[in-house]
Amino acid sequence: MRFFRGLIERFSMPALVCLVCGVVTGCSVFREDGRHVNLIAGHYLALAEEAVAAPPVIEVAAPAGALGKARKLEELKPQDLQPIALFDVLAIALRHSDVIRNNAQFLSPGNQILTAPQAVPSVFDPAIADDSVNNGVRGTAAATSDFDPRFSTSLIWSKDELVQNNLFLSGGLAPGNVLVEDGAQFRSRLDQSLLTGGNVALVQEWNYASNNQPNRLFTSAYSGSLGAEFRQPLLAGAGRDFTSVAGPLDRGNKGPYAVDQGLVIARINRKINELDFEREV
């Protein structure tokens, strides 16, 4: 045991010295410059050196002469101002904003643009109301159309074949023969309503008849007429005041739930829509 202990003490000190020297020096004995060689870092380092040595040249186009001298941050003096009226400001804002939005309503859960877009005011509301043809909210265009001339026409063609049973009532045909009749009716009418509540009309009618009765001189015959009508109520519905407020009485296609609206009511509705639009603005 003493022999081995002496042997360990004899060789332990030199071995410890060699180990410490190897840790301190590392692998530097295999490199000439004593630094790590990193190819990737060297590549980017070379690019950075080139950028610093030769910075890129950025070409900036000169401003047009009409724009005047370019402004700088240190120039805080006011430039030429253009006076503008409040009405012009509103006109410019409305020209670039078809839909009128309320402040702080865009992100609101109750935003009408998302929940009820048909109720959101817009610049088109006065024109839509003025051109409306719905019952009860007619516009001025619909109220004025009551006094436009109305033209109607109709054409009816008929054909009849009937076996005769009576010699005296068949027009000369023997019993058992077939009476063949062709007929046509053409009718055209032009009406014009008056502001006094009256109506003027021009009517034209044509009738055509043809059959095979032997006692007739001609197998076919034509008859026509041309007439004019004038109607004017004397009590109910007469006068310019009534017609202006309720419209003419002879207006057709009113419907069971229609509300009489003349020019006066239509213009009042247009004014109400314009005031509602101005209030939203």
Task: Supply the mean pLDDT for the chain.
Answer: 74
Question: What confidence tens digit (pLDDT) does each residue in 205-234 have?
Answer: 999 999 888 888 888 898 999 999 998 888
135 in any annotated domain: no
Q: Is the model's pLDDT at 186 over the cut of 70?
A: yes
Q: Are 248 and 148 in contact (CB under 8 A)?
A: no
Residue 17 lies in a domain: no
193 domain-assigned: yes
- From residue 224, alpha-carbon distances to 71, 162, 189, 204 in Å are 88, 27, 14, 8
- Comparing 38 with 273, which gets the higher pLDDT? 273
Whether 8 maps to a domain, the answer reads no
Among 118-122, 182-186, 232-236, name the one with the lowest average pLDDT.
118-122
- Look up residue 33 and give its two tokens: 């410059």
d(CA 165, CA 57) in angstroms, rounded, equals 115
Is 238 within a domain? yes
120 part of a folded domain: no
For residues 229 and 203, the answer to whether their CB atoms sit within 8 Å is yes
Q: Is the confidence at residue 63, as pLDDT, over 60?
A: no
Residue 53 lies in a domain: no
Q: Is residue 130 part of a domain?
A: no
* Structural domains of the chain, count: 1
Query: Residue 136 carries which DSSP code?
Result: T
Instruction: Report the distance separating Cα 58 and Cα 149, nearest Å.
Output: 74
Residue 189 domain boundaries: 140-280
Q: What is the pLDDT of residue 9?
A: 54
